[in-house]
Amino acid sequence: MSKTSAIGVFDSGLGGLTAVKELIRFLPNENIVYFGDTSRVPYGNRSKETITRYAMQDARFLQTKDIKILIAACGTVSSVAGNLGDEFHMPYTGVVNPTAYAAANTTKNGKIGVIGTTATINSSSYKHAIENMNSSLNVYQRDCPLFVPLVENGFIDKNDIVVRTVVQRYLQPLIDSGVDTLILGCTHYPILREAIADVMGDGVALIDSGRETARYAAKLIKENGLENPQQESGSCEYFVSDRVDGFSKVASLFLGNTFNQEVHQINIQHY
Ligand code: DGL
């Protein structure tokens, strides 16, 4: 591992690209290796044991790529798989702590909503993290299992009747609770940001787990003296565990620009 080694980022699918987008913005000269476990997405409705086994394989694959820091850009893995940094002996972050920290520092009325996959919400990971930071804060949680399939199938337009109906149905209880801050606790959800913002209304701050994690990763790299001294723009390498066609279209959505890079398919069962 050296300063020029890459940042390793993984997710169950393409949601982690919301963190990659922000990493490129915060750390333009760092190299990034991304792995999306597209053959096994979604993780969010699986057991803790299965999610942990998958996460270990994902991290083991990234470890073969000369990485200097590991990021689980997946709310589900971050919530249930424990501290992978101890296992892999390198700086590590999931998305829960950085995002909880940002939310705790944003709320004015002390009421924070959290939305995530079923595994994430059942673990109460964000709730525990927030309450550990400030026990006077109230946390209201809601799982939104239809959000990931909506995003992965390109249903993201806030004016689409299907999108609007699903978003309204899931978020109404949080609106009724009076939250002024809402954690988008799954890295897929920032893609639905406009629809979520529309339903929640202007008074509610949305906290993007991809962005907060990228911000924290930048800090972690600095603290560990691992900043890449190279001046030119860093490279990004992309790996998935299922077919590569179709990746570009959805990746463009997540990264917010036209995606025209090579994508490699690997067999994750080998790791
Ligand atoms: N992007 C993953 C997360 O942040 C969720 C998708 C899944 O269920 O695999 O939780």
Pocket of ligand 1 contains residue 69 by CB under 6 Å: no
Q: Is the CB of 114 under 6 A from ligand 1?
A: no
Range in 71-80, 137-146, 243-252 with the lowest mean pLDDT = 243-252
- The question of whether 236 is a catalytic residue gets the answer no
- For the segment 81-94, what is each residue's pLDDT rounded down to a tens digit? 988 988 899 999 99
> 103-116, pLDDT tens digit by residue?
999 999 999 999 99
Q: Please determine, looking at this structure, whether the domain spanning 97-209 carries the CATH number 3.40.50.1820.
A: no
Q: From CA 53, how far away is CA 59, in angstroms rounded?
A: 10
Give the CATH fold of the 6-94+211-270 domain.
Rossmann fold (3.40.50)
Ligand 1 lined by 71 (C-beta under 6 Å):
no
Residue ranges of the chain that CATH labels 3.40.50.1860: 6-94+211-270, 97-209
- 138-141 long-range contacts, CB within 8 A, separation 24+: 138/110, 138/111, 138/112, 139/112, 139/113, 139/114, 140/111, 140/112, 140/113, 140/114, 140/173, 140/174, 140/177, 140/179, 141/113, 141/114, 141/115, 141/116
Query: Mean pLDDT score of the chain, rounded to an integer?
Result: 94
- In this structure, what DSSP letter does residue 270 have? G
Give the 3-state secondary structure of 143-206. ECCCHHHHHHCCCCCCCCHHHHHHHHHHHHHHHHHCCCEEEECCCCHHHHHHHHHHHHCCCCEE
